[in-house]
């Protein structure tokens, strides 16, 4: 049960690239944004070592350092950044209500949702041990580090197929580990995989252990789930492509979502189906899932929020 009440013009939920970029723009537009960081201040990039593809860092930067820069820039313009998570929301009437940490209710004229998505992992201890040291959940982000080397990728859906073909352009050899005797991916994607000479698909196969030398990945131990036979593959990189879960549980029944829980936005904007509520970053994007695209849509969300408030002030109906 919530006790305290506070009203804000612009509430930002989440502190990844999308949330911080929204904060920079909203603060500079004088919306006096309040941000709740969630349990992972800085978002997904705090889990990674090198980020080499974010413009503006010519020599690369670590994920945690980059997100610290985002935070400082958002703070510089006066964003009120608070540690806490949104535990429930009520978007059924204006102003919108968001409960923080189950105890405090914030009412807000606009809400920018940037709660991101969480990569699904296999759950092996060795996967955690070598995460960032050969283990990755993002081929586009980390494939480059394995140029000319051998890698393995786990997964059988469209994303896994897409990522395997992406890796095949960079790497010498790509082992694709498929749990069943068939793919879940579309026929077109399967066709692409099977016609890429340096991808070897290994069916009925599960990962038993990721092997390493204490510093980096050196191989993967796999088991055939039909015969029980174990074998080791020599690889320098291990990619997990078994899906992502958007962090949208608290918005169920409040906002339109697709079948997998990603928030739906009006194409070309960050508008959700509820006026004054905007969604940016991976929480509404199952396709690009990059820091720079998340940041771009964070900018869009702040501009959409600012224009929504300006239109309201002048009593103009915003049509989505
Ligand atoms: C290991 C790894 C390496 C990556 N490397 C790269 C790379 O090199 N380059 C690249 O471009 N991309 C990379 N990515 C992808 C990139 O991290 C994401 O695309 C990007 O972080 C998405 O930003 P976001 O702001 O949408 O969400 P996220 O970064 O996922 O942040 C979500 C935020 O929401 C908060 N949150 C969640 N639920 C709540 C709640 N209920 N209340 C309040 N807050 C909440 C979390 O605490 C977090 O702060 C990588 C991803 C991973 C996992």
**Structure confidence by residue, pLDDT tens digits, 157-175:** 988 999 999 999 999 999 9
Shared domain for 235 and 252, answered yes or no, is no
Task: Name the CA radius of gyration of the chain, rounded.
Answer: 21
Cα–Cα distances in Å, from 248 out to 196, 258, 259, 307? 36, 11, 12, 25
3-state secondary structure of 138: coil
45-81 pLDDT, tens per residue?
998 878 999 999 999 999 999 999 999 999 999 999 9
Note the pLDDT tens digit of each residue in 120-160.
Answer: 999 999 999 999 899 999 999 899 999 999 999 999 998 89
What amino acid positions are annotated as catalytic residues? 138, 141-142
What's the CA-to-centroid distance between 200 and ligand 1, angstroms?
A: 31
Residues 108 and 255 reside in one and the same domain: yes
Q: What is the pLDDT of residues 257-276, one digit of tens each?
A: 999 999 999 999 999 999 99
- β-strand 217-224 against 230-234: which pairing, if any? antiparallel
Same domain, 176 and 28: no
Q: What is the mean pLDDT of residues 84-90?
A: 98
- Where a domain ends, among 240, 257, 291? 240
My answer on whether 169 and 233 are in the same domain is: yes
Give residues with Cβ within 8 angstroms of 46, minimum separation 6: 40, 63, 64, 67
Q: Is 247 in the pocket of ligand 1 (CB under 6 A)?
A: yes
Q: Are residues 46 and 114 in the same domain?
A: yes
Q: What is the pLDDT of residues 182-200, one digit of tens each?
A: 999 899 999 999 999 999 9
Residue where a domain terminates, one of 240, 256, 289: 240
The structure tokens listed for 210 are 């990721």
Q: Residue 283: name the closest of 239, 320, 244 by CA.
A: 244
Rounded Cα distance, 188 and 257, in Å: 26
Residues 220 and 265 in one domain: no
The 10s digit of each residue's pLDDT in 1-30 is 545 679 999 999 999 999 999 999 999 999
The answer to whether residues 126 and 215 belong to one domain is yes
Q: Reduced to 3 states, what is the DSSP secondary structure of residue 29?
A: coil
Q: Ligand 1: which of 138, 263, 280 to mutate, most ligand atoms within 8 Å of CB?
A: 138
Domain span at 50: 4-118+244-319
Determine if ligand 1 sits within 6 Å of the CB of residue 40: yes
How far apart, in Å, are the Cα atoms of 229 and each of 135, 204, 211, 235, 246?
24, 11, 17, 19, 36
CATH number at residue 221: 3.50.50.60
Does the C-beta of 22 come closer than 6 Å to ligand 1?
A: no
Do 93 and 14 share a structural domain?
yes
**45 Cα: distance to centroid of ligand 1 (angstroms):** 6
Q: Is 96 in the pocket of ligand 1 (CB under 6 A)?
A: no
For residue 51, which atom of ligand 1 is closest to its CA?
A: 8
Same domain, 88 and 169: no
Question: Between 17-28 and 291-313, two packed helices, what is the crossing angle to 10 degrees?
Answer: 40
Beta bridge partners of residue 7, listed in sequence order: 107
The residue out of 189, 216, 240 marking a domain boundary is 240
Q: In this structure, are 211 and 255 located in the same domain?
A: no
For residues 16 and 104, state if they share a domain.
yes
- Closest atom of ligand 1 to 44 CA is 29
At residue 123, the 3 state secondary structure works out as coil
* Counted domains in the chain: 2
Same domain? 234 vs 174: yes
Tell me what pLDDT residue 3 has. Answer: 58
């Amino acid at each position: 049960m919530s006790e305290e009440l506070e009203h804000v013009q612009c509430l930002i939920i989440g502190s990844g690239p999308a949330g911080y970029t929204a904060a920079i723009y909203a603060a500079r537009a004088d919306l006096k944004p309040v941000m709740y960081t969630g349990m992972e201040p800085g978002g997904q990039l705090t889990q990674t070592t090198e980020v080499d593809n974010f413009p503006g860092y010519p020599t690369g930067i670590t994920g945690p350092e980059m997100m610290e820069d985002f935070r400082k820039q958002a703070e510089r313009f006066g964003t009120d950044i608070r540690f806490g998570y949104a535990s429930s929301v009520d978007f059924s009437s204006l102003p919108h209500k968001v409960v923080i940490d189950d105890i405090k209710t914030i009412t807000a004229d606009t809400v920018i949702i940037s709660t991101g998505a969480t990569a699904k992992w296999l759950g092996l201890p060795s996967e955690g041990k070598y995460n960032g040291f050969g283990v990755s959940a993002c081929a586009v982000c980390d494939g480059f580090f394995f140029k000319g080397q051998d890698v393995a990728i786990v997964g059988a859906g469209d994303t896994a197929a897409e990522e395997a073909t992406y890796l095949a352009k960079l790497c010498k050899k790509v082992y694709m580990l498929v749990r069943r005797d068939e793919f879940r991916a579309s026929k077109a994607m399967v066709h692409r995989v099977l016609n890429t000479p340096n991808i070897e698909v290994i069916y009925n196969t599960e990962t038993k252990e990721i092997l390493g030398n204490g510093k980096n990945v050196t191989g993967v131990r796999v088991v055939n789930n039909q015969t029980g036979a174990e074998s080791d593959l020599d690889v320098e990189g291990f990619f997990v492509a078994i899906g992502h879960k958007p962090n949208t549980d608290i918005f169920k029944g409040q906002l339109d979502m697709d079948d997998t829980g990603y928030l739906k936005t009006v194409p070309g904007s960050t508008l959700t189906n509820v006026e004054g509520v905007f969604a940016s970053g991976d929480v509404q994007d199952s396709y690009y899932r990059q820091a720079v695209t998340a940041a771009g849509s964070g900018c869009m969300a702040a501009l959409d929020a600012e224009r929504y408030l300006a239109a309201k002030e002048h009593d103009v109906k915003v049509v989505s």
